Amino acid sequence: MDNKRRLDGINDLKIFTGNANPDLAKKICEHLSIKLGDAYVGRFPDGEIDIKVNEDVRGSDVFLVQPTCAPVNENLVELLIFIDCLRRASASRITAVLPYYGYARKDRKDEGRVPITAKLAANIITEAGADRVLTVDLHAAQIQGFFDIPVDHLLAFPVISKYFTAMNTEDLVVVTPDVGGIKLARNYSKKLGIKMAIVDKRRIGPEETEVGFVIGDVSGKNVMMIDDLIATGGSIAQAANVLKDRGAKDIYVGTTHPVFCGSAIEKLAAAPIKEIVVTDTIPLGEKVKGLGNKIKVLTISGLLGDAIMRIHRHESVSSLFV
């Protein structure tokens, strides 16, 4: 995108951030060469959320960056209050930029008497006053249909695949740690011109899986294991051990969302993984020190920034992936 086109019509574009991932919001603004919006996002003495926008947003096209990552309930409510604040300040359009969409794993009733929380979260974001949503690598693509407002669904695939392409690793095979990730793994297989394998697993509890067998040849191969997110790290760690048992050489992991909850850091540190490549949809902070040089963080700010500008100018977002 040339600088002239970027500067055209930028006067009414404003980007704000909550407390969930301000560093990512600042990087997006740097990419677009605009100033981050001025707002106070704090707490009252009793812990309730207090927000005040310190600049005029009347008639503006506002993008609010706030992934609903941990602490998910805190960040979700902060998002809702911030949207309400912008709506009451007469913003022309409010786009909720959710690099990570929390509660996405509760997207269906898989047993009796359970909620569909992904749909509930979509409802309350819409009801709060969001006009559209911009998000990255939803855990299930059909969640886009849970919203009654437009959703632009970005893929981190170009960012992560570019990194692995530059590595130029020989005898590389892309592996999905479960059958549900076949489509994602196929994208990498096609882009990098490499073969694909599947690690079969079954879920035996909310935080526990059991790895069965490997479909495909990984013996003597370097492995790139791809998933949309890593939560407890159990599936990835188990899959890495199985792949090593099947004769795999170096094992790399690529994932969009580093949720890293529970004992994930310890499991991943102990697993036979050479490098874990993640994006900055979720801030990592001090907790990743346990992974040492094993972790590599790629920024998704350029992709989000380009999408924001295209939305602002009413241009195609899907063309970013052509």
Catalytic residues: 201
Enumerate residues 6+ apart whose C-beta is below 8 A from 315.
309
Amino acid at 35: K
| Residue pointed to by tokens 């199985």 | 242
Burial of 40 (0-12, 13-18, 19+ CB in 10 A): exposed
What is the spatial distance between Cα 270 and Cα 256, in angstroms, rounded to a whole number? 21
Amino acid at 190: K
Amino acid at 203: R
What is the spatial distance between Cα 49 and Cα 35, in angstroms, rounded to a whole number? 24
Q: How many other CB atoms are found less than 10 A from the CB of residue 13? A: 18
Query: ∠ CA 90-91-96 to the nearest 5 degrees?
Result: 135
Going 69 to 10 to 61 to 143, the CA torsion angle's sign is: negative
Strands 295-298 and 275-279: parallel
Q: Which contiguous run of DSSP H or E holds residue 243?
A: helix 234-245
Going 279 to 37 to 125 to 32, the CA torsion angle's sign is: negative
Please check whether residue 62 is in contact with residue 94, taking contact to mean a CB–CB distance below 8 angstroms.
yes
What is the spatial distance between Cα 6 and Cα 24, in angstroms, rounded to a whole number? 20
- Three-class SS of residue 44? coil
